[in-house]
A and B are shown apart, each in its own frame.
Chain A
Amino acid sequence: MKIAVCIKRVPDMETRFKIAASGSAVDETGLKYDMSDFDGYAVETALQLNEKQGPGETVVISLGPDVVQEQLRKALSMGAERAVQLKADRVPADGLAIARALAQELKSGGYDLIFFGRQAVDSANATVGPMVAEMLGLPCATGVSTLEIANGRGTARRDLEGAAEIVEFALPAVVTIDEGMPRARYPSLKGIMAAKKKPLEVKPAQLGEEKLILEKMELPPERAAGRIVGEGPAAVPELVRLLHTEAKVL
């Protein structure tokens, strides 16, 4: 199958973030980057599908400045066949602009499946995947935790709050990948060497007008320091008293 996977470069979320002097971005000093967690699962899912189901091609696409080539190379070293960078000086906040640029690239690609992560772990919008599906007129299953592909059809589980649904759709389709799907493999040394020779095409991103603009970023208020009530089961009565009289949650 021909599978496209759209991936985003994001900073490591373990970081203690600082706000940049501009007030509208995080300070990039010393940040480590990787592809967004769910995008990693999406690449892995695509590779496993093609490994299991015979000849295919996994194409990874990322929108952004040249630094995104680092994540595209990583996906190539995991086993993807080729990569496309949609070049833009930055990743816009406006998901519709990103979706327009991606749809433009994807529409003539002849893909059987187009994968996204459920959401980028930094901007956390979850909008681009279903927007692209709508623009291309394709079926779309969002937030899937299982996925089976057979005879040109897909079956997936979508976890809802306190329930789940099993959906079916015909290919070609857009699928956004959630927790439950396989974790990204570590690239092998052989994979890393091979990736250097794989094609990485650079094209301008056709974003169009942006109408969602990031104005400000700030750190949320710190939680007030708590206290250790005590040690072992002996501390339970005091904890229950505090929950009752002070926190008033019991």
Chain B
Amino acid sequence: MANVFAFAESRGGALRRVAFETVSAARALADASGGGEVHALLAGAPGIASLAPDLGKYGADVVIVVEHPGLANANAESLAATAADRIRAGAYRAAIVSASAQGRDLAPRVAAKLSVSMAADVISFELAGDALVVRHPAYAGKVIATLRLTGSPAIMTLRPGARAAVEAPREARVESAQPAADPAASKVVVKEMIAGGGAKLDIGDAPVIVSGGRGLKSAENFRLVEDLAAAFGNAAVGATRAVTDDGWRPHSDQIGQTGRQVSPDLYVACGISGAIQHIAGMRNSRTIVAINKDKEAPIFKVADYGIVGDVIEILPALTAAVKEARAKG
């Protein structure tokens, strides 16, 4: 029986989906150890405490709430100090943080503060005696590494989307705490937060991704990709490295080895030949559709369904057909 710590990531006063994934993973680990408690750390501007019950829904027994005006934006230095303090005091068997951009910023600092080793970007884990055995995609997703992490607490970051959050509802007890380091004293200060286009879905959260490559021939033609994404209603737009290098799309849209790794239910690759660089970012999608004029293009080797032809002619037809299919329900 062991207690497990989870970091509940929030942004702009709202919990992120990865917060539920980490709490749910911590629940699974605590249960596997014979039924310990899950303690989640929730930090933010005053008012964030109102989100604590949402964490109880996914299996948190205790929510440690840290409210401070200086935590309205992510503040890794202050958060790392607080997390390390709580983990030290709580004698947890493990601590789980999402492998999101903020989680990857935070967890290594906590590990260094506690002088413990950590496992990163984990897709599965199990307790094995005094060790935690984890699996982690490496070599651009072409190899799965199994690693043995000893020492306590075992810190790991969990790949977003690798484990769905499972409900395990309970009344979470709320415990208020102070930041262990003054957020105002942090050496790195967030000067500005730039929201990613309002209501648009992020490529990490969208169930459908419509992605474009050089086959679109121009930045203007990305409108066709956006139209198809809009027709799906629950889709985000992605791009290849060639396209972001050319400035047709921002770097943050890049899917691939040096960009984001995604695993949506449906991935529609439009005018993408399928370089390793790109495949590394999307090969774990559940269903892959490829549209490309070259029938020998490597993208067809990973695609479930392919159409050979000019993407600029095919996309409007596909957009219309998707609209029609959705209208019929």
The chain A residues found within 8 Å of chain B, CB to CB, are 11, 13-14, 17, 19, 26, 37-38, 93-97, 99, 121-131, 133-135, 138-143, 145, 155, 158-170, 173, 178-180, 210-220, 223-233, 235-237, 239-240, 242-244, 247, 249-250
Which residue of B77, B259, B309 has the most chain A CB atoms within 10 A of its CB atom?
B309
Contacts of B1 in A (CB 8 A): none
Cβ-defined partner of A229 (8 Å) among B187, B307, B322: B307
B121 within 8 A of A: yes
Known: A142-B105, A236-B314, A247-B287. A155 touches B142 (CB 8 A): no
Verify B191–A163 contact, CB threshold 8 A: no
Contacts of A129 in B (CB 8 A): 108
- Which residues 178-201 of B have a CB within 8 angstroms of A? 187-197, 200-201
Contacts of B51 in A (CB 8 A): none
A-B contact pairs, 20 of them (CB 8 A): A13-B277, A37-B258, A95-B118, A96-B111, A121-B258, A124-B136, A126-B121, A138-B187, A161-B204, A162-B205, A164-B194, A164-B196, A179-B251, A220-B144, A223-B301, A224-B304, A226-B303, A227-B305, A236-B318, A243-B287
In the complex, per-residue mask of B118-141: 1 if CB is within 8 Å of any chain A CB, else 0: 111100000000000100111111
Verify A165–B194 contact, CB threshold 8 A: yes
Verify A127–B141 contact, CB threshold 8 A: no
Instruction: Tell me the bound Cα distance from A10 to B279 in angstroms.
Output: 19
Verify B286–A249 contact, CB threshold 8 A: yes
If A143-B104, A167-B190, A236-B317 are given as contacts, then 12 extra A-B residue pairs at C-beta distance below 8 Å, sorted by A number, are: A97-B117, A161-B203, A161-B205, A164-B194, A179-B259, A218-B146, A226-B288, A231-B307, A231-B309, A236-B321, A243-B325, A249-B208
Known: A162-B204, A211-B150, A243-B305. A250 touches B322 (CB 8 A): yes
Instruction: Tell me the bound Cα distance from A219 to B145 in angstroms.
Output: 9
Verify A220–B141 contact, CB threshold 8 A: yes
Contacts of A138 in B (CB 8 A): 187
Verify A223–B117 contact, CB threshold 8 A: no
The count of residues in chain B whose C-beta lies closer than 8 Å to any C-beta of chain A is 101
Say whether chain B's binding surface is mostly helix, strand, loop, or mixed.
mixed
Closest to B275 in A: A14
Verify A163–B195 contact, CB threshold 8 A: yes
Which residue of A143, A233, A237 has the most chain B CB atoms within 10 A of its CB atom?
A233
Contacts of B102 in A (CB 8 A): 160
What is the CB-to-nearest-CB distance from A59 to chain B, in angstroms, rounded to a whole number?
A: 22
Contacts of A232 in B (CB 8 A): 307-310, 313-314
Verify A250–B325 contact, CB threshold 8 A: yes
In the complex, per-residue mask of B243-279: 1 if CB is within 8 Å of any chain A CB, else 0: 0100000011010011110000110000000001100
B74 within 8 A of A: yes
Which 8 A-B pairs give the minimum distances between C-beta atoms? A162-B202, A139-B187, A134-B112, A162-B196, A233-B317, A211-B117, A125-B120, A216-B146
Cβ-defined partner of A233 (8 Å) among B77, B118, B314: B314
Closest to B106 in A: A130
B28 within 8 A of A: no
- Which residues 82-100 of B have a CB within 8 angstroms of A? 100
What is the CB-to-nearest-CB distance from A176 to chain B, in angstroms, rounded to a whole number?
A: 9
What is the CB-to-nearest-CB distance from A6 to chain B, in angstroms, rounded to a whole number?
A: 14
Verify A215–B133 contact, CB threshold 8 A: yes
What is the CB-to-nearest-CB distance from B118 to chain A, in angstroms, rounded to a whole number?
A: 6
Instruction: Tell me the bound Cα distance from A154 to B140 in angstroms.
Output: 31
Verify B303–A13 contact, CB threshold 8 A: no
Cβ-defined partner of A163 (8 Å) among B111, B141, B196, B208: B196
What is the CB-to-nearest-CB distance from B196 to chain A, in angstroms, rounded to a whole number?
A: 4
Verify B304–A226 contact, CB threshold 8 A: yes
Contacts of A126 in B (CB 8 A): 104, 108, 120-121
Instruction: Tell me the bound Cα distance from A79 to B201 in angstroms.
Output: 42
Closest to A249 in B: B266
Instruction: Tell me the bound Cα distance from A244 to B322 in angstroms.
Output: 10
Verify B117–A179 contact, CB threshold 8 A: no
Instruction: Tell me the bound Cα distance from A95 to B150 in angstroms.
Output: 13
Instruction: Tell me the bound Cα distance from A247 to B142 in angstroms.
Output: 25
Known: A131-B108, A179-B258. A169 touches B205 (CB 8 A): no
B280 within 8 A of A: yes
Contacts of A244 in B (CB 8 A): 325
Verify A161–B100 contact, CB threshold 8 A: yes
What is the CB-to-nearest-CB distance from B255 to chain A, in angstroms, rounded to a whole number?
A: 11
Instruction: Tell me the bound Cα distance from A237 to B121 in angstroms.
Output: 39
Closest to A38 in B: B258
Verify B187–A170 contact, CB threshold 8 A: yes
Closest to A19 in B: B143
Contacts of A38 in B (CB 8 A): 258
Cβ-defined partner of B307 (8 Å) among A96, A122, A180, A235: A235
B148 within 8 A of A: yes
Verify B276–A143 contact, CB threshold 8 A: no
Contacts of B325 in A (CB 8 A): 240, 243-244, 250
Verify A122–B101 contact, CB threshold 8 A: no
Which residue of B11, B136, B147, B188 has the most chain A CB atoms within 10 A of its CB atom?
B188
B223 within 8 A of A: no
Instruction: Tell me the bound Cα distance from A210 to B149 in angstroms.
Output: 9
Verify A161–B142 contact, CB threshold 8 A: no
What is the CB-to-nearest-CB distance from B237 to chain A, in angstroms, rounded to a whole number?
A: 12
B295 within 8 A of A: yes
Instruction: Tell me the bound Cα distance from A179 to B251 in angstroms.
Output: 7
